[in-house]
Amino acid sequence: MTEPAAAIPGPERVQDALLSAAKTKARNKDFKRNDVVGYMFISPWLIGFFAFSMIPIAISLYLAFTDYHLLRGGEWIGLANFDRMFNSDIRYGRSVAATFKYVLVAVPLRLIFALAVAMLLNTKRRGVYWFRAAYYIPSVIGGSVAVAVMWRQLFGGDGRVNEGVVNTLLGFVGIERLNWFGNPDTAIWTLILLAVWQFGSPMLIFLAGLRQVPAEYYEAASIDGATAWQKFLRVTLPLITPIIFFNFIMQLISGFRVFTQAFVITAGNPLDSTLFYALYLYRRAFNDFQMGYAAAMAWVLLLLIAFFTFISFRTSRYWVYYETKES
């Protein structure tokens, strides 16, 4: 057995090896110093992550399998919370139904509005800057309790003395007065309309995306005699699918978690038609103090969101168009 000649170190190779060893050592020392420095810099997040995320998640997982009551403490009950959720809790089923209805209607409507208005504002006409700001204002204040209380009154929340501006305005065009909050079919629409009214942030993201579409594409389409609608369908829409996808995911996730508006405007009424998931979970945890059951609900919510996000990602390859480098 002979070693390959190249592996036998000559004097100059020894020198090289020593040098590179010294370099590695220096780098290691540097690395070690950087390790300490790096972890010092990220320590606020790291400590917070363990204290306020990791430990609570572990506790939450444990709670989901217990009958934990804030005042009485808890006992291990296995899958009973989940059994109750899926098999005997009628209100749970209603809250899932209400949430799905809301997400399925509000998210697409909001995105369509956001895109339509972004198209409208994607022009160099004078004053568009001001309109962009005006349309964004509802989104700035939209999550607040103040707007929720106002919204309730706009639809005649205090029914005895107030028929509601919306009803009055509808009356002008001959539509009969609606009892928005008394009817399970109409109550949810007040919340959907509120969501649509706040199309501001997806609109701004669409606007940024529309600016990225190269003007040459439109010019080429014009030369080929494309109409405005054809340009939208064949040029704009395919090119902004990544942004549609991003907006869709963000809106989907926040749609599943809507709370304040339902809590203040409809309180889940009537007949649980607006008892959204997050609202029901809050009630179970902080009104009934059934924290084990609520923790189990939270885990199902996480799985639901993860599932829909996953499905969206899987189907996205069929409709989201990424401009690849080689083209």
Partner 1 sequence: MQQALKFDTYQRQRRRTQLSQTVTYYVVVIALAIVMLYPVAWLVASSLKPLDEIWTNVTSLIPSTLRFENYAEGWSGFGGITFETFFRNSFIHAGVGTLFTVVSSAIVAYGFARVKFRGRDIWFSIMLLTLMLPSQILMIPQYIIFNELDWINTFLPLLIPRLGGDVFFIFMIVQFIRGIPIELDEAAMIDGSSKGGIFFRIILPQIVPALVTAAIFSFYWTWEDFLGPLVYLQNPNLYTVAVALRAYTDTGSINNWGAVFAMLTLSLVPVILIFVFFQRYLVEGIATTGLKG
Task: List binders of partner 1 among 230-249 (CB under 8 A).
Answer: 246-247
Of residues 96-115, those binding partner 1 (CB under 8 A): none
Site membership for partner 1, residue 60 (CB under 8 A)? yes
* Token pair belonging to 308: 């829909």
Q: Which of 144, 227, 230, 315 binds partner 1 (CB under 8 A)?
A: 144
What is the rounded distance in angstroms from the CA atom of residue 298 to the CA atom of residue 301? 5
Residue with smaller CB distance to partner 1, 14 or 150: 150
Could you count the other beta carbons within 10 Å of the beta carbon of residue 174?
6
**Torsion sign (Cα): 308, 258, 293, 302:** positive
Give the distance, in angstroms, between the CA of residue 226 and the centroid of all CA atoms in the same chain. Answer: 36
Q: Could you say whether residue 18 binds partner 1 (CB under 8 A)? A: no
| Helical packing angle, 200-212 and 241-256, nearest 10° | 170
The answer to whether 111 touches 244, Cβ cutoff 8 Å, is: yes
Taking CB under 8 A as the binding criterion, the range among 118-126, 173-181, 214-222, 224-232 that sits at the site for partner 1 is 118-126
**Is 279 in a helix, a strand, or coil?**
helix
Q: Give the x-and-dash track for 189-228 against partner 1 (CB under 8 A).
A: --------x--xx--xx-xx--------------------
Q: Which residues between 26 and 55 bind partner 1 (CB under 8 A)?
A: 31, 34-35, 37-42, 44-49, 51-53, 55
CB of 12 to partner 1, least distance (A): 31
Q: What is the C-alpha separation between 308 and 253, in angstroms, rounded?
A: 9
Residue 285 binds partner 1 (CB under 8 A): yes
Which range of residues in 9-17, 98-106, 222-230, 302-310 is near partner 1 by CB under 8 A?
302-310
Q: Which is nearer to partner 1, 92 or 256 (CB)?
A: 256
* CB of 29 or CB of 257, closer to partner 1: 257
- Tell me whether residue 82 or residue 136 sits nearer to partner 1 (CB atom): 136
* Whole-angstrom distance, CA of residue 324 vs CA of residue 327: 6
Work out how close the CB of 132 gets to partner 1 at its nearest, in angstroms, rounded to a whole number. 7
Among 137, 175, 220, 271, binds partner 1 (CB under 8 A): 137
Q: Considering only CA atoms, which of 230, 278, 275, 243 is closest in space to residue 258?
A: 278
Q: Binding of partner 1 at residue 268 (CB under 8 A)?
A: no
Q: Which of 123, 287, 324, 327 binds partner 1 (CB under 8 A)?
A: 123
Pull the structure tokens for residue 237. 């829409």
As to burial, measured by CB atoms within 10 angstroms (0-12 exposed, 13-18 middle, 19+ buried), residue 4 is exposed
Radius of gyration of the chain from Cα atoms? 29
Question: Is residue 298 involved in binding partner 1 (CB under 8 A)?
Answer: yes
